[in-house]
Amino acid sequence: MRSPSRATDVKRRAGWLPADQDALEAWLTGHRERVEAKGDRELHPVVREFQELLEREPVLRMYAERMVAEVPRNKPYTKRHLESVEQLLRLIDEVLTMAPEFGDQNVTTPLGAILDWTTGTDAGFAFYRDPRVNTMLKKILTVWCDFLSSPASLYVLNDSESGWTSEAARRAIGIEQYRHDPTDPHWGFTSWNDFFTRRFQEGFRPVASPDDDSVIVSACESTPYSIKTDVQRHDQFWLKSQPYSLADMLANDESAGQFVGGTVFQAFLSATNYHRWHSPVAGTIVRAFVQEGTYYSEADSEGPDAVEPTNSQGYLAHVATRAVIIIEADNPAIGLVAFVPVGMVEVSSCLIAPEITPGHHVAKGDELGHFQFGGSTHCLVFRPGVIADFSLGALPQPENPDAPLVLVRSKLATATTAT
């Protein structure tokens, strides 16, 4: 059943799923065995509600049963890990009291691991685009997020091989850069989400050229994914090339017309990265809102090499749950800038900081909000003629699979000089 080898996808490069397929399948086997050992216990009310939706909606039930039965055409599985929709629901139910573990061979997004088989099928492509399904997935993710925000989720902050306070995790995170209490068993954090949205200590990640308004800084600690110029108001983002379509990405915000012909920079966050967003420029907030969207929808336009990973982030910027923050830069040569943090899989809670409201002035590097439970991907959108050059030092992915990490609040680009 294993498909031909292909480029490792973004979820795996970013540490959300194991880099090794056998490790992912071993986790799925272990998860299935844990669920089976507990017998037919009562489902959580939110999972039961999902089950009832599938029972009363024949088209959704058809898609659900088909996506379990079909073999994903773009996932290299060695064997079948799902046998029925009922089993799928029970595997989901078990996750609601689990927190992600650390390690290259561990699963940081367990719901994504369970659904991975189904999202890569023809029926799954349709299922995960349905608004009714996404409404239920939001409810499920909200319940799970409540658990991850509770002290009960701290059990993974331990010094075992898969614990987040282990020596390997300390090195991967660079915990000495963050505010924490090294004398406390859980580093002073009150929950998993409190740990995952940790803040840097004073002095780390200074703002590049704070007094030079021609310098644009990185909004997130992230790996460059794509730079596209001459973007259009409407384009066919669902096709193989996945061009950016401004009206769709910006949820039909009235500012979209100002960015036509401009530039989009996109980058993604890894599992061990810092997960808060910062303003790329000094300016005034024009609008800030969250646009509801999909959670596990994948692009099916690229054939066997597609899907949420390597070449699918452009697609997700148009359909996934995301925030849209429009800033009028103090520098008139920059003008309007759009920042769009995009949720991927369960990393989909885009929380805008309470003060980020229309009329609020931000200094360059000020916090704008954060992703709940980890990180995802984001776009910065600039008007035509604004960017003189980017300061990346190398091409972004997918042209460069080893694109270097860009530190938050470091220099990202230089704006042209106003004439």
What's residue 120's pLDDT? 85
Of 39-43, 253-257, 390-394, which one has max mean pLDDT? 253-257
Contact status, residue 295 vs residue 321, Cβ threshold 8 Å? yes
Q: What is the pLDDT of residue 305?
A: 45
User: What's the whole-model pTM score?
Assistant: 0.90
d(CA 373, CA 306): 25
C-alpha span between 409 and 200 (Å, rounded): 12
The whole-number average pLDDT for the span 88-93 is 96
Q: How confident is the model at residue 308 (pLDDT cuts 50, 70, 90)?
A: very low
Of all residues in the chain, what percent carry a pLDDT higher than 70? 89
Confidence of residue 384 (pLDDT cuts 50, 70, 90): very high
Q: Could you state, in order of their start, the residue ranges of all structural domains in the chain? A: 10-150, 152-190, 215-415
Least trusted range by pLDDT, from 2-16, 163-177, 267-281, 374-388: 2-16
CA distance 112 to 233: 32
CB atoms within 10 A of CB 282: 20
d(CA 329, CA 333): 8
CA distance 319 to 332: 31
* pLDDT score at 116: 87
Q: How sure is the predictor about 399, in pLDDT bands with cuts at 50, 70 and 90?
A: low
DSSP structural state of residue 339:
E
Distance separating alpha carbons of residues 102 and 369, to the nearest angstrom: 24
Look over the chain and give the mean of its residue pLDDT values, rounded to a whole number: 88
pLDDT the model gives residue 3? 43
CB neighbour list of residue 215: distance below 8 Å, 6 or more residues apart: 208, 209, 364, 411, 413, 414, 415
Whether residue 341 is predicted with pLDDT greater than 70 in this model: the reply is: yes
